[in-house]
Structure 1
Amino acid sequence: MVSLSKFALSVSMLLAIIFVFQLKGGNSFSILKPVVHMYITNNLTNGEQLGVHCKDKDHDIGYRAIHFQEPYAFTFRPAFFISNTLYFCGFNFGSESHYFDVYVQDRDEKAVDKECHWQINKYGPCRVNVLVNPNSIECFPWPSD
Structure 2
Amino acid sequence: MVSLSKFALLTILVVFQLKGGNSFGILKPIVHMYITNNFTTGEQLGVHCKDKDHDIGYRSIRFAEPYAFKFRPAFFIPNILYFCGFTFSNEFHHFVVYDQTKDEKAVKRECHWQINKYGPCRINVLVNPNSIECFPWST
Q: How high is the TM-score relative to the length of structure 2?
A: 0.95
Q: Please say if 1:93 is aligned against 2:88.
A: yes
113, 124, 128: which one aligns with 1:129? 124
Q: Please say if 1:10 is aligned against 2:5.
A: yes
Q: Please say if 1:52 is aligned against 2:47.
A: yes
103, 111, 119: which one aligns with 2:114? 119
Q: Please say if 1:141 is aligned against 2:124.
A: no
56, 61, 65: which one aligns with 2:56? 61
The aligned residue for residue 83 of structure 1 is: 78
Q: In 2, distance between residues paired with 1:49 and 1:90?
A: 14
Structure 1 residues without counterparts, runs of 5 or longer: none
3, 27, 33: which one aligns with 1:32? 27
* Contact kept? 2:23, 2:75, Cα under 8 Å: no
Over residues 82-112 of structure 1, what are the superposed CA-to-partner deviations in whole Å (9 max), with x where a residue is unaligned? 1110011000011111011111001110111
Residue 74 of structure 1 aligns with an amino acid whose one-letter code is F
Residue 135 of structure 1 aligns with an amino acid whose one-letter code is N
Structure 2 residues without counterparts, runs of 5 or longer: none
Percent pairwise identity: 76
Residue 61 of structure 1 aligns with an amino acid whose one-letter code is I
Shift of 1:11: 2.9
Q: In 2, distance between residues paired with 1:66 and 1:102?
A: 17
The aligned residue for residue 108 of structure 1 is: 103
Number of residue equivalences = 139
Q: CA RMSD for the aligned pairs?
A: 1.2
Over residues 4-39 of structure 1, what are the superposed CA-to-partner deviations in whole Å (9 max), with x where a residue is unaligned? x61x44333212211111011112331121110000
Q: In 2, distance between residues paired with 1:74 and 1:27?
A: 16
Secondary structure in 1 aligned to 2:10? helix
- Structure 1 residue ranges (4+ consecutive) displaced by more than 6 angstroms after TM superposition: none
Secondary structure in 2 aligned to 1:40? strand
Residue 13 of structure 2 aligns with an amino acid whose one-letter code is I
